[in-house]
Each structure stands twice: as C-alpha cells, then as structure tokens.
Structure 1
C-alpha cells in the first residue's frame, strides 16, 4: 500500500498474498458459516434470543400467532448472516504516507483510498487502520454506499515524540447489514512503515577541516605510465566525456567503459556516537542519550549539506554507510540515499551492551584522515585515554561529552577531568549540560579553534593538508 504501488483487494473468496514494492494483497473470507455467526451484533443476538423465547412460550401456551412472531424474530438475524456471508464485494485499498520519514514531534498524514472493483454496489462499510498507540488513537471511518467502480478517500494524521520505525496496518473492513444484525471483518494483509527520525537543529556555519588532500584514483592505485592494457577503466556514467571511452575495455566487458581521471577527493567526516548503556542515565525524550542521538543527526545533516563525505560510526564499530566506497561525489540520488540510511539507523539506534570504545577506535585507526565529531556519554579514565588516541589520524576532532549524572540530577561527575585529557591530546572538547543548545555549543567549539591546552592546539579548524570550506 505504499505510494505508487498496486492496491490491495479484499473479497470473499481468496486468501492472502504479498506482492513486491506495491505490497498488494488479498483479504480472506471468514472461515465458514460458524465464523459468520460469530459476527452477530448485540442487536442480532437479542433478536435471536427473543425469537427463541417467543417460540418456547408459544409452544407452552399453544399460541400459534406468538410462534409466528418468534420465528420472524429468529429468522431476521439468521437471514442477515447468510446474506452478508454470501456477499461478494471486491474492494481494493491503498495507503500513501506523506512523508514516509518524519522528524520526532512532527506530523505525517496517511491517505487511504478504497475502490469498489466489483460490478455491484456495496453497503455501509466501516474502515479501520491498525496504528501503534504511540502514534495516536486508532482511526475509524464510516464509508457510505459505493457504486460499482466507485472510490472513497479518507485521511488521518499520526505523530510521535519517540523516534523509531512504526508499522501501519493492516487495514480492516467491517461489513454490516442494513438492520445492524451482523458485522463481518475482512482484513488486508499488507502494511507500511513510518520512520520517525531524531529531531535536527540548524547549525551555524563555522570553519571545519576535513581531509581534502590528494586525488582519488591516482592516490589509491598506481597506474602504469605506458601500455594501454594497464589503464584501469570504470563504467560509463551519464555526463562523462565520450573522448575518455576506452574501447578495448568496452569490447571486453560488453558495456561502455571510460578511463579514470584524477578527481579531487572530497573532504571526509566521521560522526561518532557513543551508545553504551553504562555511559548514560535516565530515559525518555529529554534524556542525555536522546540529546546525543539528536546531536549526531543534526551534525550529519549539516556536514553532508556542505559537501563532506560523511559516515556514522558507533561504539560497536558499525559504520553507515560502509567504509569501502569511493570518495567521488556520486549522484545527488546516491547522496540522498546515504543520508537516508544514516537517518534510518539513528531512528532505530539503541543502547549497546559494550563497556568500551575499542571497536570504534579500531575502525578509526585503520581509516584515513578526516574531520572527527564525537558525542560521548560518561567516560572513565581508561576510556578517556582511548578517546585521546583516536585523534591521531584525524585532521580535526571535536567531542561533546555529557555528564549523565548531572542530566539525571545526581550531582556533578568527573567530566572536567576527562575534558582536560582530551584537550591535551588535541581535541576540542566541550561539556554538555542538561538542556544545552547544540547550535550554541557548535559556535563555542568554533570560537575555541586553535586554543592551546597542555601544549596541544585543539579546535574545529585545526590545520590540515588542505583547508576545508566554511561549514
């Protein structure tokens, strides 16, 4: 039922089947007449009971007129059940989310469309969509009679203050007879997913340094200076100069291939998010961990908008996108897909069971220079020393360290001691008090650029091989 997909259909004969991108499906008929009898409403059961009671009284009292009344009362709900059970409505439904990815605290609208694809008009239909309770109350709609080939459209809003991925669906249709004696429920088998990403804040432009030195293919590969066979080609991309076509490789691979050229490398940035459960105290939208997740999301958006090749790294060593890709800018669609992957990862990120940052350090140690921006929870003396060593391969490093005990109202911890260790190693390290504004801290990090601390210069603009652009 996603946008652009085929509609799902509910009828009285066939069972469920999920399709591909459109997720089409078919709702099944209730299992047998017994299930239809279970759909009797309170009114229908009351009529049935009254008819049975009247029939018994008529037999005891010998009143034939009362027996006819009892039979009428009993037959009416049973006839409603049979008529509704034999109904062969074919109704197709589709769902569209606008947008499918929404920040926490913002609303998304869900559009539902029902189409009568049968040759007979429908009766009164009651439509219900299954929605997790965190998104709001379960929406219910009453659809009046739909003519053959008719269409009805309804919509509702959903909102969540908690990030995550929430399923919407499946849709349920309730069919009712004109007398309200019986209701049957027929369900669609498909559903959609609403992704609630962390809140992001607009950050002020500052001078950041990422690694933009060297050239892409020339630095990574040693190409021979002579011999056409030693040229390393790549697949043709839209917009490539046709004069760069390498015909021998084209004939060999069966697709158009072009010679690689020296391309300036993009400035790189790694956003490190500490997710260790032992590093944070408190839960809820206003907790220190949620502040760190929101800060990482804001940083990713801000850095990516300024042309950096950015990746998200957690303490578990998980990197999104993967570290094996090219540094070439790629297409705008590729950049949007990468940003979407990182935001989806932040929407679902949770506390890890680890006690240290060793895995993240191993990833950074095997990588290349670039800007490093980290969001840490509580750091003990050992982890602070390990974080200090992470700066060795980065062009500049900024750390936002949260004293979770202060966030939880338990007093002040040892955050200043940890900041001193990081600053002596060249980090621009800032403490994050409860309710702090990330744009203000971002500006403060820029103002501390190049300030000496323990003989080492730290800052957002620490000199690299080539200076990065205004960010």
Structure 2
C-alpha cells in the first residue's frame, strides 16, 4: 500500500502507519467501492445466476453463480489487504519558470519494504492549464528498488500552480478491483511573467553608471569630524581612526565616501478599469511583463529597486524606504518581486492617489510607470508624481489600440481625456518621458523609444521628446 509522503519535495518519506489508519476506516465499504466495471458485472451476474438457480432448482447453475460472485470479492479483499511500503518524491526543474516555457517534473518511487510490488499505476495531479494529467505504469519493483519517471508542464498564463499529491492505483491480476492511495505532499510551480532583455540606454536618473536620482552620503573629511565605524575583517589598517579607538576601547576605522546606490521605483497600474481584454496577449499582461523586464534590468545594472502598485503597496518593502536589491540580496529581491508579479491581478481601485501618497518627494530616483487608460483626474495625479522623483518614464498603453471601445464612461464624475496624444502631452509638460505603447509592441523597442524621447530625437510618429528625466 502506498505510504503517505511527508517532508521536502527533494526527500519525501513514506508514512505507512498514518495512511494505513486512514485506509482501514470504512473496511468492506472501501474495498467494494474499488470494484471496477468488470468486477461489478461479475458480481451482478453471479447474484443473478444464484437467484435463477434457486428459482429453477439448478444446483450446477448455483455453483457457477457463486464462482462469479465470489471472484470479485476475493480480488477486492486481496487488493485491500496488500501492504506496499512505497516512498515517493517529486523534483521540479526549475521551480520558477517564465510564462510560455517548459518545466520538467521528476518523480521517483522507492520500494522500502522487503517484498516486491506488483503492477503499479502512478499519476500526478496537475491543473488543466499545465497540460493533461500524467499517468505511468510501473512494472514490478523489487525490494529496495527504485523507479524514476518524468513529465513536462507548460503554461502561457502566469500564476502559482499546485502539483500533486501523487496517487498510486493498485490493481488485481484479473482487473476486478482498483484502489487509489495518495501521498500527502504537493509542490508549487511558479510561472512568472516573461522577461525581455532590455538595451543599456541612459534614461533619466542614471549618469556615469550611478544615477542622477541617487543621493550621496559624504563622509566628513576633518580629523575631528570623521565618522568612524567598528573594524571589520579585511579593512585596511591605514584607515584606523586612533582617536576613536582610544575613546571607545575597540578598533575603529574611518568611513570612506560611500554613495548610496541608484534607486528605481517601478509603478504598475493594476486597475481593472484601465485595461482592455484578457489572456496572455492582453494589455495588462504586457504591462506586467514590461514591469518584470525593467525590474530585472535595473537590478542587473546595480540599482536598488522597488515595485509599487496603484494601491500604494510596495514590494519587497524590507526597509523603511521599501527599496531592496543591494549586494547579495539582489537575487532574493528579484525572486520576491517576480513571485509577486506572478500572481498580481486587477485591483478595484479607481485612481492613482494611493501610489502618489506612497512616493516620497525627490528621494525616489528613477520612476518607471506602466499605466493603463487615464482620465483627466488620473492624468493630473500622474503628472504630479514627476515632482517626487529624480527622473520619470511612463509607458502609456493605448486602450483603443488594445481593443477597448473608443469612448469610455467617466470615472467618479471626471471627464475622459480626448485621446492618447492628449494624455502624452499632459505628462510630457509635467516633465515625464512618456511613450505610447501600441498593441504587439516589443518592450525592448519601447525602452529604446523612451531613450529617444528623453534625448529629444524625433520619433516615427513625428513627435519630439522633451528631455524629461535628464
């Protein structure tokens, strides 16, 4: 009988006692419920033959009826009493995969008993969006033996999908009875948004590889005004500050000039009323993928980044300022933000005011915003955000071009904007580097176009950038 699995995905262990106690509950009812169509047919035919033999007075027919009825019952009892001690494990490779890419799931079954198993049917439960449910037939597994199988899963929709639990189906040689035993654990496959490599352009908030939006904390140069810190292994002894060492009774060194890391806030507009359509090719999915691409790109360039939504919620939010990604924590920060983007959904918000309140005046560095449709009030709030950042770049998704009806009902009594060009003009006048995102556009190309807008290069549409964020 299959043991219940427990422990991490890489090393699950069987727990036959717990699963056995659960299987014993129900007794004969559980065994009879496992009869297959063939077993039920034999049982019904046997009962019918026995009744006919009693009515007609035919003892030979009674013996045939008893044989037909007893055979499935014996098979059910044998299968139910079968005690296979089997351990199962599952390993995902990788556990986090971009949308549209495949992941491989490796399954391993170990026979931890002293007796060989019979024929086993193994299946893993997976959501329908990942593909059909995988099924495998495992031949006789010797005592202490092992069997390994694998299957592939793929999803075009981002999200977190549970895999498991594993199930074992036990059959008798005649196919009269089939019982299912389940393991207890499951794993989670995280499908993150697609990330597109972005070219290394120089947008607002970046200069000499550091960023205009970055504030530098300077160490005071005077001997008496030096700000010391405790000695750390590897510090140059020439930096020892002897006066502070004598004062504090421990080895102190001078702080070197250490400018703060460049900062970048990625604002994602998640309002449901701001986007058109649904599915992997919708405008909202483009915005989520674009935000993921910018976050990864900025982390690779050494920025401290923060993901901010229209609701005012920031990720990862580890410190008081919400920024993260410095040093060795950049990989963890990227993973946390990608996991958040994997499950982000439309919000019920009607405006951008919460996001505006979450921004601190002038200390945000570069602000990159992915915005849906804006009415007059939304555009005014977005324009004021420019005052709270060192540089601002906006990717404005054109709702008309992405399938929305040209006329949109006013939100909260505010008037709808006349068109995409009017929204872009208002943002550019406020100092934004704003570009319109048409349907099917490449994130990398939009990134280059934003750089051309900032530099004042004439775009194919005939507009000239204002140099916002320079």
Match for residue 18 of structure 2 among 11, 14, 24: 14
Q: State the partner residue of 2:184.
A: 189
1:79 to 51, 74, 77: 74
CA distance in 2, matches of 1:297, 1:330: 18
Written as runs of structure 1 = structure 2, the 5 A alignment for 1:34-433 is 34-208=29-203, 209=206, 210-211=211-212, 213-215=214-216, 240-241=234-235, 262-322=257-317, 323-324=319-320, 330-332=326-328, 334-366=329-361, 368-408=363-403, 410-411=405-406, 414-433=419-438
Distance 2:222 2:31 in 1: 78
CA–CA distance in structure 2, aligned partners of residues 56 and 257 of structure 1: 100
TM-score of the superposed pair, with normalisation by structure 1: 0.83
Instruction: Write out per-residue CA displacement over residues 428-454 of structure 1, whole angstroms, 9 at most, x where no aligned residue.
Output: 10111111222111111111224399x
Tell me the CA shift for residue 328 of structure 1.
8.7
Would you say the 8 A contact 1:449–1:459 is kept in 2?
Answer: yes
Pick the aligned partner of 1:31 from 11, 14, 25.
25
Q: Tell me, in whole angstroms, the C-alpha distance in 2 between the residues paired with 1:151 and 1:405.
A: 58
Q: What SS does structure 1 have at the residue aligned with 2:299? A: helix
Per-residue deviation, 1:262: 4.3
Q: Tell me the CA shift for residue 127 of structure 1.
A: 1.0
Say how many residue pairs are matched. Answer: 435
Contact kept? 2:266, 2:291, Cα under 8 Å: yes
What CA distance in whole angstroms lies between the structure 1 residues aligned with 2:240 and 2:85?
Answer: 55
Q: Which residue of 1 aligns with 2:412?
A: none
Pick 1 or 2: higher relative contact order, CA cutoff 8 A, min separation 6. Answer: 1
Q: CA RMSD of the aligned region, Å? A: 3.3
Distance 1:147 1:417, change over 3 A: same
> Does the aligned pair in 1 maintain the 2:303–2:326 contact within 8 Å?
no
Q: Residue 369 of structure 1: CA displacement?
A: 3.8
Task: Give the superposition deviation at 1:196.
Answer: 0.7
**Post-superposition CA distance 1:391-443 (Å, at most 9, x none):** 11322111011121331153486211111111111111011111122211111
Cα deviation per residue 1:90-141 (whole Å; 9 max; x = unaligned)?
A: 1111111111111111111111111111111111111111111111111111
Q: Distance in 1 between matches of 2:113 and 2:253?
A: 55
* Greater displacement, 370-379 / 46-55: 46-55
TM-fit CA distance, 1:459: 3.7
Provide closer, same or farther for how the CA distance between residues 40 and 326 of structure 1 changes in structure 2, counting only shifts above 3 A: closer
Structure 1 CA distance for aligned equivalents of residues 100 and 325 of structure 2: 32
Q: 1:23 aligns to what?
A: none
C-alpha distance in 1 between matches for 2:79 and 2:254: 69
Shift of 1:4: 6.1
Tell which deviates more after alignment, 406-415 or 284-293.
Answer: 406-415
Does structure 1 conserve the Cα–Cα contact (< 8 Å) formed by 2:361 and 2:387?
no
Q: TM-score normalized by structure 2?
A: 0.84
Change in 2 beyond 3 A, CA 1:426/1:326: closer
Secondary structure of the corresponding residue to residue 199 of structure 2: coil
Match of 1:249 in 2: none
Name the CA shift for 1:43/1:149 in 2 (closer, same or farther; >3 Å). Answer: same
The 3-state SS of whatever aligns with 2:150 is strand
Checking the alignment, whether the CA contact within 8 Å between 1:203 and 1:298 is kept in structure 2 is: yes
Q: Tell me: CA distance 1:457–1:85, structure 2 relative to 1, closer, same or farther (3 Å).
A: closer
The more displaced of 312-321 and 56-65 is: 56-65
Q: Deviations over 1:209-230 (max 9, x none)?
A: 23465545x68xx9998699x9
C-alpha distance 316-393 of structure 1, shift in aligned 2 (>3 A): same
Inter-partner Cα distance in structure 1 for 2:104 and 2:145: 23
